[in-house]
Chain A
Amino acid sequence: MNFPLTEFITVSASNPWTYVVFGLIGFAFGYTLEMSGFGDSRKLAAQFYFTELTVLKVMFTAIVTAMVLLFGAVGLGILNFNQVWVNPTYLWSGIVGGLIMGVGFIVDGFCPTTSLASASTGKIDGIFFMLGGFVGAAIFAETEPLFTNWYNNAGYYGRLTLDQVFNLPIGVVVLLVVLMALFMFWGSEQLERIVGKKDMSREPKLRLVGASTLVAFALAVVFIGSPSLEQRYNKLTFTRTEIIPLLEGDPIVSTNIHTADEMLSTRLAFVSPAEAFKAKYNQSMNPVYLDVRS
């Protein structure tokens, strides 16, 4: 089976299951945030006074857990990373937006998703945050035309991942991020002990086992590596359904699975001039044009 499942990449009314799947994902998301204590703004704000670093711990545990599983699955060829949404890099709007979010975070003690877990459990401040959020997003929609050029072009790098920035194999980046996270957890616990006056001897010893497992997984990701371009090319298959209408009777429907080589040699893969033109102005694509006319 090839992941991600193409039928679940977008929602569509023709396949109501897509709403169910995304709804369940959201449900699990909200449940987890609430059970981690993110419905309480005090727990979130405490992060920034070094008394309780739950935000950092939950967030980075989630990031590294998802990351090792993700790149493990990519390395094993189960998941096609090209079909995974990677947030495109817009450097300057990202930095300015991030700083504004940070100020909002410490003033209100929520972020958009934690406010959902908060509001839905009856926290009145969470409900006020949500209302403010609708106003903030509306103000953005009204003001965006004033700086739309800067918003869409300043520091735009498209799909850029850290392994490309540092020119390292992706497995090595995964390992380095895991080690950085573990160092930050250690630092957080020191801060909680010193600033938050928390008795750290009562923390479960099991977390050391968790940390070792994480490092072992990250090492496995380094060892497995990523499938090469050639391996991915050989794995590509295309399903084509041909319908041949007949004068009498039902049309002949044949479904064939082609490899990439067959698609190219039989000229089944082609691009129309209009499609090539559109691709050139599609910001989410970076088409490469080869002139083979000579």
Chain B
Amino acid sequence: MTTAPVTKKSIFNRPEKNYVHPYIGGMVLGIVLFIAILLTGNGLGSSSATSRIDALIVYTISPSHVDNNPYLLKMAGGDKNPLNDWIVPVFFGTLLGGFYSGWLNGRLKFITTKGPNISNRARWLMAFLGGVLFLYGARLARGCTSGQALTGGATLSAGSWVVMFAIFGGAYGMAYFVRKLWN
């Protein structure tokens, strides 16, 4: 990588800083999680916000479809606003927080993060398909790595620990077969 001299500090042209040490990052994340639980009784999460935004889209296009689907009906339909849940402001806050950290630390760049032996297009396709799978699994398990593994892990929920080990099990079990994607 060539380092061009930084002439001006615009949004996209700040010096790139290193990531923090994993243990420090983890400790700060743990304190954020604790404060969330202490103040609100809820932890952190994001995947059900995706469901809720979906429910809003479906409701906007076809309200009768929501009425015929009991799963969507729990979130939308009638006088229910699917976005009226704590997870939605957390979702948008997370986007903003990630953006702000990227901005401060010079990491705002349109790039594709991928293994060395895969094309951009293949990577985008894999990211998309993986996203389909991951959110399907997350809704099936009633939470993703944040809502189940992180929050449920800290509150010592038995089911969350099972989910956490299942995630790691699935990923380690599959890693060998998709090694071309990353190595």
Point out residues on A near B: beta carbons under 8 Å: 3-5, 8-13, 18-37, 39-43, 45-49, 54, 57-67, 69-70, 73, 78-79, 83-91, 93-126, 128-142, 144-145, 148, 151, 157, 159-165, 170, 173-174, 177, 185, 204, 207, 210
Task: Evaluate contact between B112 and A141: CB separation under 8 angstroms.
Answer: no
- Beyond the given A29-B32, A63-B154, A103-B170, please list 18 additional residue pairs across the A-B interface where CB-CB is below 8 A: A22-B93, A23-B90, A30-B101, A39-B102, A45-B115, A57-B26, A94-B142, A98-B141, A98-B166, A104-B132, A106-B174, A108-B134, A109-B113, A121-B108, A136-B131, A140-B51, A161-B158, A165-B158
Among residues 129 to 147 in chain B, which have CB atoms less than 8 Å away from a CB atom of chain A?
A: 129-147
Q: How far does the Cβ of A227 sit from chain B's closest Cβ, in whole Å?
A: 16
Task: Evaluate contact between A37 and B154: CB separation under 8 angstroms.
Answer: no
Contacts A65-B30, A162-B161: A87 and B171 contacting too (C-beta < 8 A)?
Answer: no
For residue A170, which residues in chain B have a CB less than 8 angstroms away from its CB?
A: 156
Q: Is B95 an interface residue (CB 8 A)?
A: yes
Q: How far is the CA of A10 from the CA of B88 in the complex (A)?
A: 11
Q: How far is the CA of A49 from the CA of B36 in the complex (A)?
A: 33
Q: Is the interface of A mostly helix, strand, loop or mixed?
A: helix
Q: Is the interface of B mostly helix, strand, loop or mixed?
A: helix
Q: How far is the CA of A97 from the CA of B38 in the complex (A)?
A: 28
Task: Evaluate contact between B71 and A145: CB separation under 8 angstroms.
Answer: yes
24 contacting pairs across A/B (C-beta < 8 A)? A32-B101, A36-B25, A41-B113, A43-B19, A58-B26, A62-B27, A84-B155, A89-B159, A95-B166, A101-B133, A101-B138, A102-B137, A102-B173, A104-B135, A105-B170, A108-B127, A112-B146, A121-B107, A122-B111, A125-B113, A125-B123, A134-B57, A135-B132, A160-B157
Task: Evaluate contact between B22 and A100: CB separation under 8 angstroms.
Answer: no
For residue A35, which residues in chain B have a CB less than 8 angstroms away from its CB?
A: 19-20, 25, 28, 101, 105
Chain B interface size, under 10 / 10 to 19 / 20 to 34 / 35 or more: 35 or more
Task: Evaluate contact between A11 and B89: CB separation under 8 angstroms.
Answer: yes
Task: Evaluate contact between B158 and A39: CB separation under 8 angstroms.
Answer: no
Task: Evaluate contact between B40 and A63: CB separation under 8 angstroms.
Answer: no
Task: Evaluate contact between B163 and A98: CB separation under 8 angstroms.
Answer: yes
Q: How far does the Cβ of A100 sit from chain B's closest Cβ, in whole Å?
A: 3
Task: Evaluate contact between B130 and A104: CB separation under 8 angstroms.
Answer: yes
For residue B71, which residues in chain A have a CB less than 8 angstroms away from its CB?
A: 140-141, 144-145, 148
Interface centre among A126, A140, A165 (most CB of B within 10 A): A140
Using CB atoms, name the residue of chain A closest to B137: A100
Q: How far is the CA of A18 from the CA of B170 in the complex (A)?
A: 37
Q: How far does the Cβ of B80 sit from chain A's closest Cβ, in whole Å?
A: 13
